[in-house]
């Protein structure tokens, strides 16, 4: 009996020591989950997110870590598959990780967000642009990438302030992406007192736009916003040039593609478009770009700098609050503005960026683009 | 002229251009139907192969440094016609001739299979991306009052009209004047009897496939240059429109195919002129339904007499 008691006491002691050791280890490293596709068809996008987040973690560790802790990135593979994303999210929760960068594909991010929100894990996605993700009003879900739909408002602002068209036409390809943007542009401009003379759809895959162009010409249109993708806009531009219709054109990211130059030829010169900012081109990030290159990594991917910034804002919030509690961090993220590699950013109540990460570019006939100075 | 009439004139010009190319492709449908009573659903793909051949020829000639426009156009037409006709002939030999005499549904299914095969074959060989045809011919003439509405006809449109007119006239001459043309007409009237009279009907059938393919190739070159981009899927819609044109004009009738093509093109252009342009296909196909309801044999088609 006494023997048993002693053993029990020793076990308790041993357990206590172990607990203490674990707590000590916790105080030294803070694990951050990086969830996205490592395998599968979109693995290259997962790689962009990974190198961005890892670079940020390394830089922060070099500078002494956060609150005396060293950060450690732990990679999880969801293969851009919603089912695997749920499994990954559960594993992250079980691994006692409470800060996640990811996921990448909107379809994976959506189901994973539910789990994180429920289990008190903070998640910042650097790549998912679907508006529905943040519409549920989550507390702990954020993103450091602009929504597709923000392009519409950015374009409308620019048209209103800089173009001031006399006779505007808004054309779209009847698909969710194109018509959605076109409707936003039309409505915002109508609110600003610029009524669209024409608002109509074309059939995706159509090749003959001569009738549409004759109509644009008849309406004396001087500015066309096109919501859609490059094949149709390319043909509209090319055929407009042939028919002597010379209004200015503007489109969303979907038209920015080297194929547009091949289709439209010279008619492409001067077309305006909204596209994600090329963060690797901005002078503030020059040193970082060098650091990526020294590691043989490509910093030009669209998700590299958003992922870097996601780690940045998370650790800045930890620094400022002195806590790692996701709820305290979330409150801090919503209340403050942050200076990051993707510029100065803030978050709204839904966890979305308050400013678009898109910029307006002028496209050129040789396929290059230059940012428009407002 | 008033602004509206100038605008309608412009749309008529656009509609006639597109309509003439529908007519060129429709001939292939209507001739084959006239002789063997089957719809060659792979015909749209033959048109697509014509545009690809033209594309390869034009790009090849341009990189070789040939700058003369008439030579490029002529060589593109000739190679496209040769290659497409070969395909037309091969399709008939491989997919239809072995099945001749079988139930009508069988060649229809092989035709659809052939269409899927050709589309995917070109997609694998040439890639599924849009290819941009070099802009060879630009500019045109403009008339009308610039203050009211300026009507423009591009050189390309004039070339399309010209080449279509030449092709159609030579086809009509061939059918009505030549020995082979007479054999074609005989074949269409009574294939069994024609065979008894010592005419190799298999050769005549192959010939109609070749003629149809050649005209589709001409349309392919013209439309490729007119629109400026090609991809392996253009055959489907073009084929569907041309088939509609053939049925509209009365399938089996060559003048019917010409008329049907022009009517379809003009209807599309005028619809797009006064309604949102997304409705142009809706109106074009509704027109087909209406005509079939009131004239099941099409505009110029003869009522079919049940052969005993």
CATH class of A9-145+303-341: alpha beta
Concatenating the DSSP letter of every residue in B90-128 gives: HHIIIIIGGGTTS-THHHHHHHHHHHHHHHHHHHHHH-S
Tell me how far apart the alpha carbons of residues B184 and B208 are, in angstroms, rounded to a whole number: 8
Which is nearest to A143 in space by CA: A339, A315, A303, A317?
A303
**Residue B51 confidence (pLDDT) above 90:** yes
DSSP state of B279: G
B8-48 pLDDT, tens digit per residue, is 999 999 999 999 999 999 999 999 998 888 889 999 999 99
Q: Is A242 on the interface with B (CB under 8 A)?
A: yes
Asked if B11 and A214 come within 8 Å (Cβ–Cβ), the reply is yes
Contact A170, B186 (CB under 8 A): no
**Residue A1 predicted with pLDDT over 50:** no
What 3-state DSSP class applies to A332? helix
B66: Cα separation from own chain's centroid: 28
Q: Which of B291, B295, B290, B265 is nearest to B280 (CA)?
A: B265
Residue B78 has pLDDT above 50, yes or no: yes
CA distance B278 to chain A (A): 5
For residue B149, give the nearest of A202, A218, A262 by CB distance.
A218
* pLDDT higher than threshold 90 for residue A243: no
Pairing, β B131-132 against β A29-36: unpaired
Mean pLDDT of A142-166: 89
Binning pLDDT at 50, 70 and 90, where does residue A24 land? Answer: very low
As a whole number, mean pLDDT of residues A268-290 equals 89
Q: Is the pLDDT of residue B93 over 90?
A: yes
Instruction: Give the residue from chain B lying closest to A210, CA to CA.
Output: B14
Contact A241, A218 (CB under 8 A): no
Mean pLDDT of B196-202: 92
Can you tell me the ipTM of this complex?
0.82
Indicate the average pLDDT of chain B. 90
Strand pairing class (A358-363; A272-276): antiparallel
The fold of the A150-277+359-371 domain, in CATH, is Rossmann fold (3.40.50)
Residue A257 CA to its chain's centroid (Å): 19
Contacts of A205 in chain B (CB under 8 A): 233, 237
Q: What is residue A251's three-state secondary structure?
A: strand
How far apart, in whole angstroms, are the C-alpha atoms of residue A265 and residue B20?
26
Q: List the single residue in A174, A214, A234 with the smallest CB-CB distance to B14.
A: A214
For residues A127 and A106, give the distance between their C-alpha atoms in angstroms, rounded to a whole number: 8
Residues on chain B touching A211 (C-beta within 8 angstroms): 11, 14-15, 268-269, 272-273, 277, 280
pLDDT of residue B205: 93
Report the pLDDT value the prediction gives residue B304, as an integer from 0 to 100.
61
Helix (H) or strand (E) holding A172: strand A168-172
Considering only alpha carbons, which residue of chain A is nearest residue B133? Answer: A263
Q: What is the pLDDT of residue B67?
A: 81
Q: Taking CB atoms and an 8 Å cutoff, what residues of chain A touch B135?
A: 238, 265
Q: Is pLDDT at B74 greater than 80 in this prediction?
A: yes
| Chain A residues near residue B280 by CB distance under 8 angstroms | 203, 211
For the packed helices B3-36 and B43-64, what is the interaxial angle rounded to 10 degrees? Answer: 110
Task: Report yes or no: A267 and A248 within 8 Å, Cβ to Cβ.
Answer: no
Listed residue (B162, B136, B220, B135) closest to B16, CA to CA: B162
pLDDT by residue (tens digit) across B112-152? 999 999 999 998 998 877 888 888 887 888 887 777 788 88
CA distances from A49 to A138, A299, A310, B269, B276 (A): 22, 10, 10, 49, 43
Say how many C-beta atoms besides its own lie within 10 A of residue A214's C-beta.
Answer: 26
- Show residues of chain B in contact with A262, CB under 8 Å: 131-132
**What pLDDT is attached to residue A132?**
84
Under 8 Å between Cβ of A62 and A51? no
In chain B the domains, ranked by start, together with CATH numbers, are: 3-294 (1.10.3470)
- Token digits of residue A193: 């007192």
Q: Which residues pair with A141 in a beta bridge?
A: A123
Q: Do domains A9-145+303-341 and A150-277+359-371 have the same CATH topology?
A: yes
Whole-number percent of chain A with pLDDT over 90:
56
Closest residue to A200, CB basis, from B3, B7, B277: B277
Residue extents of the structural domains in chain A:
9-145+303-341, 150-277+359-371
Q: Are A302 and A51 in contact (CB under 8 A)?
A: no
């Amino acid at each position: 009996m006494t023997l048993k008691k002693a053993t029990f006491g020793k076990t308790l002691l041993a357990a206590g020591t172990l607990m203490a050791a674990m707590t000590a280890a916790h105080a030294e490293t803070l694990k951050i989950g990086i969830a996205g596709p490592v395998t599968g068809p979109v693995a290259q996008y997962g790689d962009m997110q990974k190198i961005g987040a890892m670079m940020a973690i390394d830089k922060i560790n070099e500078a002494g870590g956060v609150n005396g802790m060293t950060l450690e990135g732990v990679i999880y593979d969801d293969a851009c598959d919603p089912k695997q994303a749920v499994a990954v999210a559960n594993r992250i929760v079980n691994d006692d990780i409470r800060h996640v960068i990811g996921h990448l594909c909107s379809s994976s991010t959506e189901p994973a967000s539910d789990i994180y929100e429920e289990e008190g894990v903070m998640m910042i996605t650097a790549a998912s642009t679907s508006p529905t993700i943040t519409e549920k009003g989550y507390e702990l879900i954020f993103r450091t990438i602009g929504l597709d739909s923000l392009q519409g408002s950015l374009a409308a602002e620019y048209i209103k302030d800089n173009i001031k068209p006399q006779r505007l036409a808004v054309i779209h390809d009847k698909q969710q992406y194109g018509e959605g943007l076109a409707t936003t542009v039309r409505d915002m401009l109508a609110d600003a007192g610029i009524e669209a003379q024409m608002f109509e759809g074309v059939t995706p895959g159509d090749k003959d736009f001569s009738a549409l162009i004759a109509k644009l010409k008849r309406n004396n249109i001087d500015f066309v916003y096109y919501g859609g993708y490059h094949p149709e806009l390319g043909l509209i531009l090319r055929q407009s040039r042939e028919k002597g219709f010379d209004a200015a054109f503007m489109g969303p990211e979907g038209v920015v593609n080297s194929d547009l130059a091949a289709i439209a030829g010279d008619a492409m010169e001067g077309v305006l478009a909204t596209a994600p900012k090329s963060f690797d081109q901005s002078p503030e990030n020059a040193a970082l770009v060098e650091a990526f290159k020294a590691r043989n990594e490509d910093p030009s991917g669209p998700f590299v700098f958003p992922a870097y910034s996601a780690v940045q804002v998370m650790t800045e919030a930890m620094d400022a609050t002195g806590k790692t509690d996701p709820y305290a961090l979330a409150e801090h993220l919503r209340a403050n503005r942050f200076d990051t590699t993707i510029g100065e950013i803030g978050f709204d109540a839904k966890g979305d960026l308050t400013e678009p990460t898109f910029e307006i570019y002028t496209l050129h006939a040789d396929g290059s683009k230059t940012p428009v100075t407002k | 002229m008033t602004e509206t009439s100038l605008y309608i004139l412009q749309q008529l010009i656009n509609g006639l251009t597109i309509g003439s190319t529908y007519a060129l492709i429709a001939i292939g449908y209507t001739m084959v139907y006239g002789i063997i009573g089957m719809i060659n659903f792979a015909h749209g793909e033959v048109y697509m192969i014509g545009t690809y051949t033209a594309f390869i020829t034009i790009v090849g000639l341009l990189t070789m440094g040939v700058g003369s426009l008439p030579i490029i156009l002529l060589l593109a037409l000739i190679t496209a016609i040769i290659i497409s006709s070969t395909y037309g002939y091969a399709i008939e030999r491989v997919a239809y001739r072995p099945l001749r005499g079988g139930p009508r549904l069988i060649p229809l299914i092989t035709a659809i299979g052939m269409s899927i095969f050709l589309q995917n074959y070109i997609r694998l060989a040439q890639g599924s991306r849009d290819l941009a045809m070099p802009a060879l011919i630009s500019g045109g003439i403009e008339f009308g009052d610039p203050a009211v509405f300026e009507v423009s006809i591009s050189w390309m449109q004039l070339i399309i009209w010209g080449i279509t007119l030449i092709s159609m006239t030579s086809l009509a001459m061939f059918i009505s004047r030549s020995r082979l043309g007479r054999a074609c007409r005989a074949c269409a009237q009574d294939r069994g009897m024609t065979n008894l009279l010592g005419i190799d009907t298999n050769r005549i059938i192959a010939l109609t496939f070749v003629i149809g393919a050649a005209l589709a190739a001409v349309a392919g070159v013209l439309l490729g240059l007119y629109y400026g981009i090609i991809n392996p899927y253009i055959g489907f819609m073009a084929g569907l429109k041309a088939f509609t044109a053939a049925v509209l004009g009365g399938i089996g009738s060559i003048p019917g195919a010409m008329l049907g093509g022009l009517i379809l093109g003009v209807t599309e252009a005028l619809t797009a002129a006064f309604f949102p342009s997304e409705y142009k296909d809706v109106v074009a196909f509704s027109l087909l339904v209406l005509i079939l309801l009131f004239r099941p044999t099409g505009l110029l088609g003869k009522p079919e007499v049940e052969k005993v």
